[in-house]
Amino acid sequence: MKSVNLLFALAIAAGAAVDAQQVPVVEKTLANGMRLLMVERHDDPSVSGGWVAHVGSSNERPGITGIAHLFEHMMFKGTPTLGTKDYAADREIIEEQERVREAMRREESRLRAAYRRGEIGDLMQPENRSERLKELDQQFQKLIERQREVLVKNEFDRVYTTAGGSGMNAFTSEDMTAYFITVPANKLELWMWMESERLWRPVFREFYAERDVVYEERRLRTESTPLGRFQETFNAMFWDASPYSWPVIGWPADLPTISKAQADEFYATYYAPQNVTLILVGDLRVSEAEALAQRYFGRIPRGPRDAPEVVTSEPPQQAEKRMYAEAEANPQVDILWHTVPFGHKDSYPLEVLARLLSTRTGRLYKGLVLGSQVATEVSAGQDARKWGGVFGISGEAKEGHTPQEVEQGILAEIAKLQETPVPDAELQKVKNNFAAGEYRRLQSNMAILFQLIGYDGLGNWREINEAGAKYQAVTTADVQRVVRSYFTKENRTVGIYKRKPGSGGAEPKAARQGRVR
């Protein structure tokens, strides 16, 4: 790789056009509709394997928000042969748990009706739980204790680790859920068996306990952070109709009410073979890997119906939206504009624009941090999702300045781009950075795997080889066109965060002077 990087650097220095090396992806489709992507790389005796289920929070609905992320957790709970000492007893306990939970749901429904009548307060508070609900909860806790006696905790992870596996993890986004690990090349068949088993015969043991774990994760990552809840409100305000309006981790009222029956239905729809793509990168032979995939994953029956598309599209925004908040954080401004989804022709000049504005050599840093010095940091990015897109710019106000000053500085930089084309040399510098990234992406099996997961999850894995040329084709006219098209006042949503009084730190001078005493 060092010699390749040297040749690349010399070519860039000489102004020569550089074509990125193509990733040799082989695509196959199993009889049940599951797709398989394979890349042979024999530099290291390992294979990075993963699979992506084409489901994320955008595939949810009100009432079950957070269920896609919950499945990310549940898929590590094991199978009839992994995760339990006695599957028969395990299954019996799960069935009994469901009977108790159904009684609890009926009681919770009665309490929600009382809440709507104003007879009790917040249902999330323990003091508003009825005696019947407390009694049922005690029964359920006893069943949890019984189940713990037959569980084998973290057995899925332990089998992989013992076999030399590393980096096992997963993630959930608005549009996909992905699972991945690196295993020694001679353990590829183990990977095939392990992953096919948890797709074919998952056991959602500890379902309600894990649901509580996810709720705690939400509390730690969102509710206990200075801007977490504000950012959820801001995001919900930005999207009018799109399912992107709710958080990936789910709304707090939905998480505690998701039932295992709802989870089973969701799984049957979105984890069917025809909605899953297997991805393997590393020291493998395509023909042998395909045969193993046919043997293990091919035994999973095709789902009875295909996963439905998201059909609710975001309507054009008619007026600027603004949110003002006081938070225990440094003063800052966030600005969002509606843009375009993944694969749209305008997504490429928008990505180039983000690079023009970002980093310490970008226009925002030069203009607001080094120039006017109203900000301590600024960032910009285009997020092209499967069903829609958003371009965001954030800036933190420097001591003695206000978020409004940072906002005006950002909008001034946008206005310059709308009025004056980007100089060719500046645009070429950004293109060179994209080209360099095309080479850096080849450094490891896992790096290639992540790209394929991301591109396939959004709808087109071929972008790993095609996106580079599209970035290089962007012109100054393209950049100016997208800035003029999308960066209008009517299309933007602005969040202004001032420091909450008494939260520490000095307030900006302008804010102190403007306060009515």
pLDDT recorded at residue 509: 39
- By C-alpha distance, which of 348, 346, 385 is closest to 467? 348
CA 121 – CA 129 distance, rounded (Å): 10
Under the banding of pLDDT at 50, 70 and 90, the label for residue 19 is low
- By C-alpha distance, which of 364, 276, 346 is closest to 486? 346
Relative to beta strand 276-282, strand 35-40 is parallel
Give the long-range contacts of residues 16-23, CB within 8 A, separation 24 or more. 17/472, 18/435, 19/469, 20/435, 20/438, 20/439, 20/465, 20/468, 21/438, 21/439, 21/442, 22/465, 23/442, 23/448, 23/451, 23/464, 23/465
Measured CA distances, 333 to 291, 350, 368, 382, 500 (Å): 54, 21, 13, 17, 15
- Is residue 80 within 8 Å of 152, Cβ to Cβ? no
Coil, helix or strand at residue 53: strand
pLDDT recorded at residue 102: 93
Could you give the percent of the chain with pLDDT greater than 90? 84
Q: Which helix (H) or strand (E) holds 191?
A: helix 188-200
Under the banding of pLDDT at 50, 70 and 90, the label for residue 125 is confident
Measured CA distances, 187 to 45, 80, 193 (Å): 10, 21, 10
Between 1.10.3720.10, 3.30.830.10, 3.40.640.10, 3.40.50.10780, what CATH number should domain 25-83+152-299 receive?
Answer: 3.30.830.10
pLDDT recorded at residue 20: 59
pLDDT recorded at residue 502: 74
Which of the residue ranges 16-20, 279-283, 402-406, 489-493 would you say has the lowest mean pLDDT? 16-20
pLDDT recorded at residue 122: 82
Residue 92 contacts by C-beta under 8 Å, 6 or more apart in sequence? Answer: none
pLDDT recorded at residue 442: 83
Under the banding of pLDDT at 50, 70 and 90, the label for residue 503 is low
Query: For residue 426, which phi and psi values (nearest 5 degrees)?
Result: -65, -40
Under the banding of pLDDT at 50, 70 and 90, the label for residue 507 is very low
Under the banding of pLDDT at 50, 70 and 90, the label for residue 428 is very high
pLDDT in tens, 130-176: 999 999 999 999 999 999 999 999 999 999 999 999 999 999 999 99
pLDDT at 12 over 80: no
Tell me the average pLDDT across 184-207: 96
pLDDT at 392 over 80: yes
pLDDT recorded at residue 355: 96
Tell me the average pLDDT across 316-337: 96
pLDDT in tens, 225-245: 999 999 999 999 999 999 999
Tell me the average pLDDT across 200-208: 92
Residue 169 contacts by C-beta under 8 Å, 6 or more apart in sequence? Answer: 179, 180, 181
Q: What is the residue-averaged pLDDT of the chain?
A: 91
Q: Which residue has the tokens 């000053």?
A: 405
CA 92 – CA 99 distance, rounded (Å): 11
pLDDT recorded at residue 504: 60
pLDDT recorded at residue 8: 39
Under the banding of pLDDT at 50, 70 and 90, the label for residue 491 is very high
pLDDT recorded at residue 440: 83
CA 3 – CA 168 distance, rounded (Å): 32
- Is residue 350 within 8 Å of 357, Cβ to Cβ? no
> Is the domain defined by 321-512 classed in CATH 3.30.830.10?
yes
Question: b/e string for 321-346 if b means 16 or more Cβ within 10 A?
Answer: beeebebebbbbbbbbbbbbbbbeeb
pLDDT recorded at residue 339: 98
pLDDT at 450 over 70: yes
Q: Name the DSSP class of 149.
A: T
Could you give the percent of the chain with pLDDT greater than 70? 93
Tell me the two tokens of residue 30. Answer: 């199993």
Instruction: Tell me, yes or no, if the pTM score tops 0.85.
Output: yes
Chain-centre distance for alpha carbon 362: 26
Relative to beta strand 276-282, strand 375-384 is unpaired
Q: Where in the chain is the domain with CATH 3.30.830.10?
A: 25-83+152-299, 321-512
pLDDT recorded at residue 386: 97
Tell me the average pLDDT across 98-107: 94
pLDDT at 473 over 80: yes
Strands of the sheet containing 492-499, edge to edge, are: 321-327, 492-499, 332-338, 389-397, 375-384
Coil, helix or strand at residue 494: strand
Under the banding of pLDDT at 50, 70 and 90, the label for residue 10 is very low
Measured CA distances, 107 to 111, 271, 307, 367, 449 (Å): 6, 31, 33, 59, 47
Under the banding of pLDDT at 50, 70 and 90, the label for residue 212 is confident
| Amino acid letter for position 42 | H
CA 215 – CA 221 distance, rounded (Å): 10
Under the banding of pLDDT at 50, 70 and 90, the label for residue 437 is confident
pLDDT at 3 over 60: no
